[in-house]
Amino acid sequence: MSLASVQYERVGFQARYEQKLHRWADAIRLTRFPLIRACIGEFFGTMVMIIFALAVTAQEKFLENHTTFSNAFISGTGVTMGLFISGNMGYGLINPAISLAFAIVGKVPWIPIFPLMLCQVFGAFCGALTVYSVYEENIRWKWDGALNMESGLIFVTGPTVGNVPALIDQIIGTAILAALCLAFGDENNFKVPSYLTPTYVGLLVMSLVGALGVNAGAALNPARDFGPRLALFTIGYGEQVFTHGDYYFWVPIVGPFIGAIAGAIMYELSVGIHLRGVLDSHKLEKEKCHLSDL
């Protein structure tokens, strides 16, 4: 058999194989089910984000080599990677607080919000279980098999201050996050290309974790803390995951919701509605309404 005929056979096999792959993909494609597709995107995007954030914390604990920069950098990178996964699948939010805030200011529809939020928490839950399965042997070796909150703080945030200062910290941090996320996505502002938005959001999270991480760990995301907390509870850590730090568990849930809603509303009231493009489109709509009345 000649070399040319061998190459022809290889090309023919490759073409047939690709056709089969396309047929299999068409059979399970979810283009007709946008909500399911968006939920899958939020689940996997949040899961990837959590794996990055928790794995770097675990390594710092084991190596006893904590640096704020490494934690902030990897956490921000995880957000970027998660957004790249979830973005074109639906809405690219991977944060229940941001999801609710965006719905309130009209950036995303209300109908899918609560299913998306559940998938985000479940993604964080599975991400935490993944990291635990990777580092279980090290965790049991370092803490002599005890499942205590020293190892638990690999997975959840913990305060170095009281609950009220920690709550204020979370509100301010998440307000900044929500406002700038709206700015990045505002087509009437600097017109950031959509393919760059995940990178900008990752840099923003990296900056917030680096600047506001001391008081309360800069969760900035209810799923980032609550999902892993539920995972620890199911693993066997028990009720200490909720009682630790004077029942601190509610702070990284409530704080980000308040902060994200406040930040989104403040951005729209102080910047969003005043941008030139918004005014021009509003004027055009009024002219259309006037013409339709004639």
Domains observed in the chain? 34-293 (1.20.1080.10)
pLDDT for 290 beyond 90: no
pLDDT of 114? 95
pLDDT of 90? 78
Instruction: Give the whole-angstrom CA distance, residue 35 versus residue 41.
Output: 10
Binned at pLDDT 50, 70 and 90, residue 9 comes out as low
Q: Residue 69: CA atoms inside 13 Å, Cβ hemisphere, count?
A: 0
pLDDT for 22 beyond 90: no
Its sign, for the CA torsion 211, 216, 217, 218, is negative
Torsion angle, alpha carbons of 239, 254, 83, 118, to 10: 60
Secondary structure of residue 275 in the 3-state scheme: coil
pLDDT for 88 beyond 90: no
> Which residue has tokens 């070399």?
3
Binned at pLDDT 50, 70 and 90, residue 287 comes out as very low
Which stretches of the chain are DSSP H helices?
3-28, 34-63, 68-86, 96-104, 113-142, 149-152, 163-185, 197-212, 222-232, 240-247, 251-270, 276-293
Is the overall model pTM greater than 0.85, yes or no?
A: yes
pLDDT for 231 beyond 50: yes
DSSP label of 249: G
Type of residue found at 211? A
pLDDT for 66 beyond 80: no
Binned at pLDDT 50, 70 and 90, residue 89 comes out as confident
